[in-house]
Amino acid sequence: MHQKVELTPDLLLQAYAQGLFPMAERREDPGLFWVSPDRRGIIPLNRFHLPRRLARTVRSDAYTVTADQDFAAVIRACAAPRAASEQSWINDEIIRLYSALHEGGFAHSIECRKDGQLVGGLYGVALGAAFFGESMFSSARDASKVALVHLVARLIRGGFALLDTQFLTTHLEQFGTIEIPRAAYLARLHDALGRNAEFYWPAPSGRDGAGSSASALGDTTLAGPLAGVTLATTPGALVLQVITQTS
């Protein structure tokens, strides 16, 4: 049964730690309800599948990819209508709560830009070594997919143990997403919450300032260079190297 609740950012984090997340019935509905699927979608980070054509797009650095540079624009783009028959579950309360989590350092966004315009991205919540993917959007070919690839590389490099997609969709299945029973998910979640991970890494996950420490992006938390990576490495090539070294 759907139960509408009043949420605070702290309560929301506690809910994530218990395997729950909130949704709205539709964009205009002011209320929220808890969700805990019987079968949970996850992307095993050590078995992430990268389609060849998408790998070429990532390597080409067709998009400028950044982290946490415009969380507000990303979540609002994710909430925007995409088709006449499709209802968004992201309402104003979701936007308020996750914006507060972002201000607190728990919610993050990945942005893809083309010629300075935001054309794709995603957002989610990081807690311990778990990352909970919430939503993504794209207004240019493969932009959201590129954002996902950059996210996966970032999570691998940062020592994350769990990438939660909530549900298994046809779109996510192509990347190796699987479904596991709730009990198995909770066991993985408990393990991930007991670990430490870092969302930032020394080289920026994007074209601007490639190879630098990018202190302006706040992307200097992790120490030490990637093995075998030089400062001349392009962002897309660096991201692919992180993924292929792990897969």
Q: How many C-beta atoms lie closer than 10 Å to residue 81's C-beta?
A: 10
Helix H or strand E segment including 137:
strand 130-138
Confidence (pLDDT) at 100: 97
CA distances 105 to 42, 87, 126, 134, Å, are 23, 29, 8, 16
Residues 68 and 74: their CA atoms lie apart, in Å, by 9
The burial of 10, by beta-carbon neighbours within 10 Å (0-12 exposed, 13-18 middle, 19 or more buried), is given as exposed
- Bridge-based pairing state of the strands 33-35 and 39-42: unpaired
Q: Looking at per-residue confidence, does 89 or 133 come out higher? A: 133
Confidence (pLDDT) at 141: 95
**pLDDT tens for residues 46-78?**
999 999 999 999 999 999 999 999 999 999 999
pLDDT confidence of 247, banded at 50, 70, 90? Answer: low
- The residue among 144, 198, 190 whose CA lies nearest residue 164 is 190
Contact 210, 28 (CB under 8 A): no
Lowest mean pLDDT among 85-99, 128-142, 172-186, 211-225: 211-225
Alpha helical stretches, state H, 80-214:
92-103, 143-158, 170-173, 182-193
Confidence (pLDDT) at 232: 42
Q: How many C-beta atoms lie closer than 10 Å to residue 34's C-beta?
A: 17
Q: What average pLDDT does the structure give for the chain?
A: 85
Confidence (pLDDT) at 202: 57
Secondary structure of residue 236 in the 3-state scheme: helix
- Bridge-based pairing state of the strands 130-138 and 117-127: antiparallel
Lowest mean pLDDT among 81-85, 100-104, 176-180, 183-187: 81-85
13 residue type, one letter: L
Confidence (pLDDT) at 70: 96
Q: Looking at per-residue confidence, does 231 or 70 come out higher? A: 70
**pLDDT tens for residues 94-118?**
999 999 999 999 999 999 999 999 9
Residue 121 has φ and ψ, to the nearest 5°, of 165, -175
Secondary structure of residue 74 in the 3-state scheme: helix
Confidence (pLDDT) at 88: 80
Q: How many C-beta atoms lie closer than 10 Å to residue 73's C-beta?
A: 13
